[in-house]
Structure 1
């Protein structure tokens, strides 16, 4: 049986990592049997991150490499009906979401002061109380360096959120009234979209990103629909 190393979330979000959420969604869509192992220490994981898929002695790190492995090894075929043009469009939107839009969510939790309580009491709620401040400080500094190196962290808070809003508007504009990105059934790009949206919606604090999401109720509807179809959630 396959094992997915992931990170815990809450009752309303399967994982605090959009990429781990994506990997589990792809596993569910593949129909393969799998179990989950939740980690808070990633030091023994390839690349020091999750998700990581284990198949026997083999470890596959990175959600896109997991998708490729499931396609080759377990005949994951959610994209089989897509035209070459659609596959190109899905690839372009995925890269936009994962390489730029994603960082606004990271910023909201770790850098925006509004996310402090959520970080300390929800994301780190399982850690000993006397250790949370030190853990949060280390995580915050790591994120600060990452987003600075990426480049997006060199912008103002308002601009970072404006980038995300522009990306989401482009996404919603392309989807229109579709139930999922390309129509009535979820495909690979939907696993990315749902992982991001589910994580942003679970943020229980006020920020420009959360305020914006509240003006787009179709986002919550989309996540609920995805969860029902892929995971059987009511």
Structure 2
């Protein structure tokens, strides 16, 4: 049986990591058995982050590398019906979402003052109360440095959120009235999208992207549809 290293979420999201959510969805979609192990000390992980999949003695870090492992060794073939053009479109949207849009949610939780209570009470809910301020300060500094190095952190909050909203509008325009990104059945791009949407909806404080999503009921409906389709049988 696989062991899947992740971080917990709350009642509104399976994991506070969109990438861990995505990877767990791919595990379910591949039909393999696995057990969860929640990680508090990321320094023990191969690349200092989650998700990580343990297959025997092998540790696979990064959701895309986990996906490749499942495709190569465990017949994760949910994209088999997609054309080469659809594969290219899915890849382009995934890279946009994971390499740019994702960071708006990170900014909201760690650097926007509106996210302070969410960070302390939800994301660090299991930490000793006396340690929370120091842990949060270290996490904020790390995120600040990462986002500055990325380049997105050099913009204002308003600009970061505006970029994300424009990206989400592109996603919703492409999704249209389809149940899932490419039609009636979820594929790997839906695992990416549902993980991000679920996390943004779970960030239930006042931030521009969250406010925008509240005006788009199709987003919550999409997440519910994905979770019923993918995780429903696993619950």
TM over 0.5: yes
| Alignment-derived partner of residue 213 in structure 2 | 213
Residue 140 (str. 1) matches residue 134 (str. 2): no
| Alignment-derived partner of residue 124 in structure 2 | 124
SS in 2 for 1:204: coil
Distance, in Å, in 1 between the alignment partners of 2:43 and 2:60 is 15
| Alignment-derived partner of residue 36 in structure 2 | 36
Distance, in Å, in 2 between the alignment partners of 1:49 and 1:218 is 31
| Alignment-derived partner of residue 6 in structure 1 | 6
TM-score w.r.t. structure 1 length?
Answer: 0.99
Distance, in Å, in 1 between the alignment partners of 2:33 and 2:232 is 15
SS in 2 for 1:206: coil
Structure 2 spans left out of the alignment, 5+ residues: none
Distance, in Å, in 1 between the alignment partners of 2:131 and 2:90 is 42
Deviation at 1:120, TM superposition (A): 0.6
| Alignment-derived partner of residue 163 in structure 2 | 163
Deviation at 1:125, TM superposition (A): 0.7
Distance, in Å, in 1 between the alignment partners of 2:34 and 2:74 is 12
| Alignment-derived partner of residue 77 in structure 1 | 77
Residues 173-212 of structure 1 mapped to structure 2, 5 A cutoff: 173-212=173-212
TM-score w.r.t. structure 2 length?
Answer: 0.98
SS in 2 for 1:26: helix
Deviation at 1:209, TM superposition (A): 1.2
SS in 2 for 1:125: coil
| Alignment-derived partner of residue 90 in structure 1 | 90
SS in 2 for 1:184: coil
Distance, in Å, in 1 between the alignment partners of 2:126 and 2:147 is 26
SS in 1 for 2:47: helix
Deviation at 1:77, TM superposition (A): 0.7
SS in 2 for 1:24: helix
Distance, in Å, in 1 between the alignment partners of 2:103 and 2:12 is 21
SS in 1 for 2:32: coil
* Residues 9-43 of structure 1 deviation map (CA, whole Å, 9 limit, x = unaligned): 11221100000000000000000011110011111
| Alignment-derived partner of residue 52 in structure 1 | 52
Residues 17-36 of structure 1 mapped to structure 2, 5 A cutoff: 17-36=17-36
Superposed CA RMSD in Å reads: 0.9
* Residues 162-216 of structure 1 deviation map (CA, whole Å, 9 limit, x = unaligned): 0000000000101110000000100000000000000000112111111111011
SS in 2 for 1:180: coil
Residue 114 (str. 1) matches residue 114 (str. 2): yes
SS in 2 for 1:47: coil
Distance, in Å, in 1 between the alignment partners of 2:164 and 2:196 is 11
Q: After the TM superposition, which segments of 4 or more aligned residues of structure 1 sit over 2 Å from their partners?
A: none
